[in-house]
Structure 1
Amino acid sequence: MFRFKYLVVTLLGVFLIGCASEKPQLSVKTSAKNNTAKLGETVKLSLNNPDGVSINSINYLLDGETITENLKLNNKLGKQDLIANVISENDTIIAKSNLVVLDRKDPELYAFPDTKNYNKADYTVEIINIYPHDETSYTQGLEFHNGALYESTGQFGESKLRKVDYKTGEVLKNLNLNSGYFAEGLTILDNKIYQLTWKADTGIIYDLNTFEKLGIFRYNESKEGWGLCNDGKTLYKSDGTEKIWSLNTSTLTEDDRIEVYTKKAKVGRLNELEWIDGKIYANLYTTNFIIIINPKNGSIDGIIDMGELTKQIPNYSKDDNVLNGIAYNPDTETIFVTGKRWDKLFEIKITKK
């Protein structure tokens, strides 16, 4: 008899816990086909409520920002979290979905690696000068500061931080990284050098003048480090996807992001970054293209074809020794580009067609 009572009580407890844990299945609906719309369009939001739950109020959020049920898409491109906080009697139910926002204008740059469709380059390149470059350097990051060129090079056991006389190629200062680090992009802000590593979840901070290591920071949202630049206040970081993260310079946390999309798809494998005249210039890894990105929403404002430069690189390879490295020199108002193990550093000007 005792065992029977114990069994009944146990089963009843399981039943009650199961009932208590169940909540109505609500979801967010949009008027957009496949929850995909274009920048500038208005999307109607509603709640899918199959159980007919009594609703007191609904608060919609897009990527954490409060929105109305008639949502005009004037913010950012890319895949965004769409959430409804639903108040039902004395309970709060969270309904989730996603909304993908595409660009509404050219260029028609398709998703990597379909490079045959990169046919909309709208900037021409004029070579101003060609300087020597250390062909053993697997260039990952490039930046000017007070007339000197700073470079981050990659590969395990070969990664370095360097200060270079760009005209002669002479290495003015060199720091070899720990063999466990595969160095990536770098940028300079407030007399500090910020250098990324690839898969070690680690960014390194140095004193600009001495290369003394001041500290490290972790990637709290992204998994990898690729490119890095800054606008004088904020650091911008690529991670090999379509995302560019904004880093808080006090905490170095990835607090915000943009996503680079065209009218049809995302544009991934964004690599080395440079901030030039209010725009982000980005290498597309293993292509001859640099794209110009609007940092406010991820829209592509231009495409630069660097194919003429690769013809002058004897060891150029589509798979390894590719274009990578963008640096703007404010003294000359020109752009400098190179690649992984290239023997040349090109000073160029770009002109819109």
Structure 2
Amino acid sequence: MKTFKNLTFILLATSLFSCSSSKKEEIAKMSIQVKAENDLLQRDNPVKFTLNNPTNTSFDSIQFYYSNKYLGSSKTNQLSSKLTTPLGKNELKAEIYSAGEKYAVTQEIVLHNNKPPKIYTYKIKNKYPHDNLAFTQGLEFYKDTLYEGTGRNGFSSLRKVDYKTGKVLKKIEIDKRYFGEGISILDNKVYQLTWHAGQGFIYDVNQLEKLGTFKYGASKEGWGICNDGKNFYKSDGTAKIWMLDGKTLEEKSYIQPVTHKSLSTRLNELEWVNGKIYANTWQKDGIAIINPESGAIEGLIDLRGLKKENGNAAQLNNEDLVLNGIAFNNNTNTLFVTGKHWDTLFEIEIEER
């Protein structure tokens, strides 16, 4: 009798394992279809989710989640809903309940903003001389003095500049192991990123004396950085802008800048301007105006044609003939922009087209 019971248990366990394994194989063939107006997924607009079930697998119910936020449940394979946040690329999940077991089908989707960005153009107010040996990676004003971070291994530096004359007032060289990137000033300290080294440097704002370093977290590279007076915002070449604690430099969260139809990447130099993040995009002739809470790109400044005004444009290769460097002067309420190895710093006014 004992042998018979053991055999029964083994057969039952084998049967359950076989059923469970079979169910998992069926679930693996499922996918989620997302249908939105004009096939463009935008926040607050109606969207229908359909669980494609090619093997007609039976289930009791389905619960849908977006970025771990519960959307609703269904006894069928469909659910209609609206997505609000977060914008950008996030996980859509269908949790399938069947015979007391739970299974999951996931895929990534991109949620866009529901409004196109406003388009702005510019008017040149002034032109100032700029050191054309500077591979500009970061610009920022502090008490009417322009601070500039430059890049490339062996040529990276941090400097204070008289922006009207272009004269370098003070300059420190960065160790040739490091490729300097964006800068930001907070609480009388200058914070400078490096590209691939996984760390940034902290300096005294007056003497440019090095005070310490800080490590990156999940963001592996350093591109651009700005601050809102409390927290930092850091780009890393991906679709993310990370928010860092202003005291500890710990990465707290991130946004993903999007327009009404695209996800932005390769955001470079950053500047905080009147509650928004202004961002250069590598190899693009413009500036994105980004909502720091949602990531929505609310405006685009078209700067095409500005590089032709640069005095040494004819001597630069395509890699250097690109915009990089945004500084907002609170005293003049104007933007200052330049590029890598440009010999001109432009003061511009922004106008809506």
Q: Which TM-score bucket, shorter chain as reference?
A: 0.7 to 0.9
Question: CA 1:83–1:204 in 2, change beyond 3 Å: closer, same or farther?
Answer: farther
Instruction: Report the counterpart of residue 281 of structure 1 in structure 2.
Output: 278
Instruction: Report the counterpart of residue 213 of structure 1 in structure 2.
Output: 211
Write out aligned runs for 1:27-106 (5 A). 29-32=32-35, 37-45=41-49, 52=57, 55=60, 58=63, 60-68=64-72, 70-84=80-94, 92-106=102-116
2:84 is matched by which residue type in structure 1? N
Q: Alignment partner for residue 228 of structure 1, among 206, 225, 228? A: 225
1:340 is matched by which residue type in structure 2? K
Instruction: Report the counterpart of residue 326 of structure 1 in structure 2.
Output: 326
Instruction: Report the counterpart of residue 114 of structure 1 in structure 2.
Output: none
Write out aligned runs for 1:92-131 (5 A). 92-107=102-117, 122-131=119-128
2:105 is matched by which residue type in structure 1? A
1:194 is matched by which residue type in structure 2? Y
TM-score normalised by length of structure 1: 0.79
Q: Deviations over 1:255-281 (max 9, x none)?
A: 322223334333332211111112111
What is the alpha-carbon distance in structure 2 between the residues aligned to residue 304 and residue 268 of structure 1? 17
Name which one, 1 or 2, has greater alpha-carbon Rg: 2
Instruction: Report the counterpart of residue 264 of structure 2 in structure 1.
Output: 267
Q: Alignment partner for residue 310 of structure 1, among 300, 307, 312? A: 307
CA contact (8 A) 2:159 2:169 kept: yes
Q: Deviations over 1:12-60 (max 9, x none)?
A: 9xx89x86995723666354269951222133446566574655784x4
Q: Deviations over 1:159-206 (max 9, x none)?
A: 011122222223232221111111111111222222111122222233
What is the alpha-carbon distance in structure 1 between the residues aligned to residue 185 and residue 160 of structure 2? 12
What is the alpha-carbon distance in structure 1 between the residues aligned to residue 101 and residue 112 of structure 2? 35
Instruction: Report the counterpart of residue 177 of structure 2 in structure 1.
Output: 180
1:343 is matched by which residue type in structure 2? D
Q: Deviations over 1:290-327 (max 9, x none)?
A: 12222233333222222343122233243223211000
* CA displacement at 1:154 relative to structure 2: 0.3
Question: CA 1:201–1:88 in 2, change beyond 3 Å: closer, same or farther?
Answer: farther
Question: CA 1:257–1:35 in 2, change beyond 3 Å: closer, same or farther?
Answer: farther
CA contact (8 A) 2:311 2:344 kept: no
What is the alpha-carbon distance in structure 1 between the residues aligned to residue 70 and residue 181 of structure 2? 36
What is the alpha-carbon distance in structure 2 between the residues aligned to residue 233 and residue 163 of structure 1? 23
* CA displacement at 1:230 relative to structure 2: 1.4
CA contact (8 A) 2:131 2:166 kept: yes
What is the alpha-carbon distance in structure 2 between the residues aligned to residue 206 and residue 84 of structure 1? 49
User: Which SS does the other structure have where 1:266 is aligned?
Assistant: coil
Are 2:155 and 1:158 aligned?
Answer: yes
TM-score normalised by length of structure 2: 0.79
Q: Percent identity?
A: 46
User: Which SS does the other structure have where 2:319 is aligned?
Assistant: coil
1:74 is matched by which residue type in structure 2? T
What is the alpha-carbon distance in structure 2 between the residues aligned to residue 89 and residue 198 of structure 1? 52
What is the alpha-carbon distance in structure 2 between the residues aligned to residue 281 and residue 55 of structure 1? 49
Aligned residues: 325
What is the alpha-carbon distance in structure 2 between the residues aligned to residue 166 and residue 239 of structure 1? 28
Q: Alignment partner for residue 290 of structure 1, among 287, 292, 295? A: 287
User: Which SS does the other structure have where 2:41 is aligned?
Assistant: strand
Structure 2 gaps of 5+ residues are 1-10, 73-78
* CA displacement at 1:85 relative to structure 2: 5.2
- Pairwise CA RMSD of aligned residues? 3.1
2:162 is matched by which residue type in structure 1? D
Question: CA 1:21–1:106 in 2, change beyond 3 Å: closer, same or farther?
Answer: same
Q: Deviations over 1:58-116 (max 9, x none)?
A: 4x443344444654222243211123456666655443222221333335xxxxxxxxx
Structure 1 gaps of 5+ residues are 1-11, 108-120
Question: CA 1:91–1:175 in 2, change beyond 3 Å: closer, same or farther?
Answer: farther
Question: CA 1:231–1:88 in 2, change beyond 3 Å: closer, same or farther?
Answer: farther
* CA displacement at 1:350 relative to structure 2: 0.9
1:43 is matched by which residue type in structure 2? V
What is the alpha-carbon distance in structure 2 between the residues aligned to residue 35 and residue 79 of structure 1? 16
Question: CA 1:56–1:250 in 2, change beyond 3 Å: closer, same or farther?
Answer: farther
